[in-house]
Chains A and B, each alone.
Chain A
Amino acid sequence: MFRMLMALMLSLSFVTIAQAQEDAPAPDRSATGGAQTLEDILARQRGEEVDNSFRRSNIGDPDGAAGLANQLGTLGGASDPDLWRALRFGEAKITASNDGPAATTLIQDGGMRWLLFREGPLATYGGYLLGGTIVLLVLFFLIRGRIRIDGERTGRKIERFKAIERFGHWLLAGSFILLGITGLVSLFGRKVLIPAFGHEAFATVALLSKWVHNNVSWAFMVALIMIFVMWVIHNLPDRTDINWLLKGGGIFSKGHPPAKKFNAGQKLIFWSVIVLGTSISVSGLALLFPFEINLFAPTFAKLNNLGISAALGLGELPTALAPHEEMQLSQLWHAIVSFALMAIILAHIYIGSVGMEGAYDAMGTGQVEEQWAREHHSLWVDEVKAKETDTPQGATPAE
C-alpha cells in the first residue's frame, strides 16, 4: 500500500515538472544569434539539465551560410592559407592598436638574413679587423719602436691646440670610445658575453650599455661638428701632402717631410673621421628614431638608376623595403662603418700616445716642444714664428 502511494506521488511530481517546463517561455537567444547564452552556460555549471535541442542539430548547413558580402559570410573562394599569404606579403588589411609605421607589418623576411649576417660575417670579420689592427700596431712598435725626437730639445714650448680645440677633440674621443665599447657589447652580447658571463650579468651590462650608446651619441655628433668647423681649413689637401705621402711620412727614414699644422696622414685621419663619423651618425639617427628615417630604399633606387649597382655586379637592388628591413640595413651599415673607423682610430691612438714621443702633449697640455714641432710640422712652426714676429709680445692685437 505504501509503495503504491509513493509511486503515485512520484508520477504526480514528474507531471508537475513537465507541465512547468512546457509552460516556461523558450529562452531568448537572439543576442547570441541563436547560440547558447550565458544563462545556458551558468545553468550547466549549476548542474541543471539544459535542453540542447536548440543547437544539437546546428552542425553546419552550407545552404544556410550568410552571403559572401555579409559580415558573417564565409570566405567563399578564399581560404585561410590565402589570408596567411596576404599577411606574409603585406597585402592584408590590418588595423593595429599600437602606433608607428611598422605596426601593421606583421611578417617580413629580412630578419633571418640580417641575423645570420650580423652573427656571422659582421662579427667575425669585424673582430678580425680590430684584432688584426692591434697585432699590426704591436708589430710596428716592435720593429720601428717609438718615434723619438731626433734633435736636441729646446725647452721652449709652442701652443699647438687651444683649450676649445682640445675640448672638442676629447669630447669626440671620449664619446667615440664609449660608443665603440658599448656597440661591441651589443654586437657580441649573444655570441660571446652571454656564454661567458651568463644571462643575468649580461642583462645588467646590456641595459647600461644601451643607455650609454643611445645618449652619448649626441656628444659625438656635437663634437664631430665642432671638429669639422675648427679644423676643416687646416685639412684641405695641398702640394705638401703629395711630398709627405711619397716619403711615407718619414716613418721609416731619417728626417721628416715638411708639413703644415696637419700632415697628410693627419688629414687622412681627419677626413676619415668626418666622412665615416657622419655616415655612422646618420645611420645611428635612423636607429635612434626607428622607422622615421629610411635611407636604403632611396639610395638603392639611385644606385639602380645610375647603373652603379649593375656595374658592381649587384643587379637590381630592392627599392621596396619593409620598415624592419630599413632598420636591419641601417644597423649593418652602422656597424660596418664603425668597425672601419675603430680600426683607423686605434692607429691614431697609437701614434698619438706610445707611438711617438712628444705627440701626446699636443692634446694633453696643448703645448708642444719646439723641436718636436720643427721635426713634424716645420711649415706650421714657421707660420707661428712669423705671426709672433708680426705681433710683438705684450701688444694687444687690434680687434
Chain B
Amino acid sequence: MKAMLTAFAATAVIAIGADFILGQAGFSSQEQATGAAVRLDD
C-alpha cells in the first residue's frame, strides 16, 4: 500500500516537475510557435 501511495505521489511530482522544466526550457507552445516579432505577453 505504501509503495502504491508513493508511486501516486511520484506521478504528481513528475507531472508538476515536467510542466515546470519544459516551460522553463522554452518548450511552451507559445514560445515554440512564435517568432521574435510576436509579443503575446505584452
Contact = CB atoms under 8 A, between A and B. Distances in A.
B18 to A, nearest CB: 4
A98 B33 contact: yes
B37 to A, nearest CB: 5
Chain B contact-residue range equals 20 to 34
A167 interface: yes
A211 B11 contact: no
B34 interface: yes
B10 A103 contact: no
Interface stretch (A8-16, A33-41, A55-63, A169-177): A169-177
Interface string A339-378: 0000000000000000000000001111000000000000
B9 to A, nearest CB: 10
Contact of B33 (A100, A164, A167, A171): A100
A289 interface: yes
A215 B18 contact: yes
Contacts of A99: 32-35
Nearest to B7: A170
If over half of A's interface residues share one DSSP class (helix, strand or loop), that class is named, otherwise mixed; here it is helix
Contacts of B7: 166-171, 173-174, 223
Contacts of B2: 163
Contacts of A175: 11
A219 B11 contact: yes
Nearest to B5: A170
Interface string B10-42: 110011101100000001010011110110000
Interface in A299-328: none
Contact of B6 (A167, A218, A290): A167
A171 B16 CA distance: 15
A65 interface: no
A145 to B, nearest CB: 27
A283 to B, nearest CB: 18
B33 A216 contact: no
Interface in A56-114: 96-100, 103
A212 interface: yes
B28 to A, nearest CB: 11
Contacts of A275: none
A222 interface: yes
Contact of A170 (B8, B16, B35): B8
A211 B14 contact: no
A178 interface: yes
A97 B35 contact: yes
A170 B8 CA distance: 7
Nearest to A161: B3
Given A98-B38, A100-B32, A171 B10 contact: yes
14 contacts: A97-B38, A98-B33, A99-B32, A99-B35, A167-B7, A168-B7, A170-B7, A170-B8, A174-B11, A211-B19, A215-B14, A218-B18, A290-B29, A365-B1
Interface of B: 1-4, 6-8, 10-11, 14-16, 18-19, 27, 29, 32-35, 37-38
Given A97-B37, A98-B38, A168-B7, 12 more contacts: A98-B35, A166-B4, A167-B7, A170-B3, A170-B7, A212-B15, A215-B18, A215-B19, A216-B15, A218-B18, A222-B14, A366-B3
